[in-house]
Amino acid sequence: MSSTFGALNTAFTGMSAARQGMELAGHNIANANTEGYTRQRVNSSGVAAPAQTGLFAGKPAAGQGVTIDQIARLGDVFADAQVRATASSAGYASVRSTALSSIEATLREPGTDGLSAKMDALWASWGDVSNQPGEAAPAAALLQNAATLSAQISSGYGELDSQWTATRAKTGGMVDDLNIATGQIAELNKQIRSTLNAGGTANELIDKRNVLASSVASLAGGTVRDKGDGTIDVLVGGNAIVSGSDAREVKLTGSFTMIGSSTSPVQLEWADKPGQALALDGGQLAGALSVLAPANGGSGGAIAEAAESYNALAQKLTTDVNTLHQAGSTPGGTTGLDFFSLKAGVPAAQGLTVVPTSAADLATGTPGKGAYDGSNADAISRIGQLATSPNAQWSAVVTKIGVTAKAENLQAQLTDTAAASAAQAQQSTAGVSLDEENISLLANQRAFEASSRVYSALDQALDTLINRTGLVGR
């Protein structure tokens, strides 16, 4: 039979358990807004009474209080995995959506600042010249409009070149972030394993590691494999980038210029295996690499393909206008002259220049029809109306980029929604509810008070037994 002194210990364990419950409720409340924090609970169990022997064998006996088994994390590994998966998709779609939106913005279509309007102005100027061949005013307007068109084509290409360079630099920063995150995960793996082996609680360390694992997933589409000893492996493209306490670094290689990427594409490689590209399942890095890829006949990187469209437009303008201009004659009778010129050694979009400098250099007429003939200028003014005109070619480019940008924006919205939904589902199990914690705090407070009351009652009973028994009749 357990002694009254043993009952004191039972009351003490109740007070200790209630105190631990109050402290943990306060810890949860303090971290209600901490990123990645997973709420915790005290797991406890009753202490059975020892086996009775001798005179009291077989007699029922009360247990000996409560013991704390562990401080449990109330997370959900499946919800965590879903958060990482959706973060990977959202990261990839976000980068592509941003890139395509920026490309679309450089077009300035439709509008008076777009290339379509500038080409229309060029053809209209040729029409004016056809009515007044050899006159300075319409010729000056034509040359100005042609120079403006050339400058805008060059500017559009330059904006894309700058966007490519900025994206390349930002991607390098992403790689640095990835290496830092994987290194920290490896270090946390070591700390968690040591803490658990020593019998400690590593809940906060695990929370930090989960946040980093989600960051890796957002950057590179990483997936997690639990090793069962408190550590995790992080896999990227099926290969371990973190294994236990070891992390493999990656590096970004390839050209630092858009034009150079055609011969030296930008790619992600293992730092310890130069030349071996790292396959990515998703994430921001995969999205960035996809838009940084070189042009490939319409199926390459979005930025380089858009830039190539400017080159193609410059070449088309040069070919179509020069073909007719060379066949015509100036008011002075000169033939075989170019209107546009492409500078060698630079992209066509940046090498497009206007050759004539005055009305005397414009091949406005048909050879042999006199100085005041404007038939050739009239023919050039009608180029924009042809089904194969530069206008039609550029319109197709604008339409394709617009459709692609809209699709990428929609995909980004869908993946963002999925990521938000996954995060909300994770929070429903792992997040701190202030109402719930207040209830837990109040319940443990009442339990502590009740155990204290038991303690006091037992103390009073022992005082009576020890100090007052046998005093009757004295």
pLDDT tens digits, residue range 226-274?
988 889 999 998 889 999 899 999 999 999 999 999 899 999 999 988 8
For the ranges 46-55, 180-189, 395-404, 464-473, which has the lowest average pLDDT? 46-55
Q: Which residue has the higher pLDDT, 465 or 81?
A: 81
Instruction: Report the pLDDT value the prediction gives residue 459, as an integer from 0 to 100.
Output: 72
Instruction: Report the pLDDT value the prediction gives residue 88, as an integer from 0 to 100.
Output: 93
Residues composing the chain: 474
Instruction: Report the pLDDT value the prediction gives residue 279, as an integer from 0 to 100.
Output: 86
What does the DSSP assignment read for 429-469?
Answer: HHSPPHHHHHHHHHHHHHHHHHHHHHHHHHHHHHHHHHHTT
What pTM value is reported for the model? 0.84
Widest Cα–Cα separation across the chain? 153
Distance CA 286, CA 125 (A): 47
Instruction: Report the pLDDT value the prediction gives residue 473, as an integer from 0 to 100.
Output: 54
For the ranges 73-77, 229-233, 269-273, 393-397, which has the lowest average pLDDT? 73-77
Calculate mean pLDDT across residues 296-313. 92
Q: How sure is the predictor about 65, in pLDDT bands with cuts at 50, 70 and 90?
A: confident
Instruction: Report the pLDDT value the prediction gives residue 55, as an integer from 0 to 100.
Output: 53
The answer for residues whose C-beta is within 8 angstroms of residue 262's C-beta and 6 or more apart is: 294, 295, 304
The answer on pLDDT for 1 being more than 50 is no
228 within 8 A of 237, measured Cβ to Cβ: no
Q: How sure is the predictor about 150, in pLDDT bands with cuts at 50, 70 and 90?
A: very high
What does the DSSP assignment read for 258-312?
Answer: TGGGGTS--EEEETTSTT-BPP-SSHHHHHHHHHHSPP-TTSS-HHHHHHHHHHH
Full strand arrangement of the beta sheet holding 232-236:
223-226, 232-236, 239-243, 246-247
With CA atoms as reference, report the closest residue to 269 among 292, 300, 245, 248. Answer: 248
Query: pLDDT over 90 for what percent of the chain?
Result: 57
pLDDT tens digits, residue range 29-55?
988 888 888 888 888 777 766 655 555
**Token code pair at residue 446:** 């009442």
Q: How sure is the predictor about 69, in pLDDT bands with cuts at 50, 70 and 90?
A: confident
The answer on pLDDT for 58 being more than 70 is no
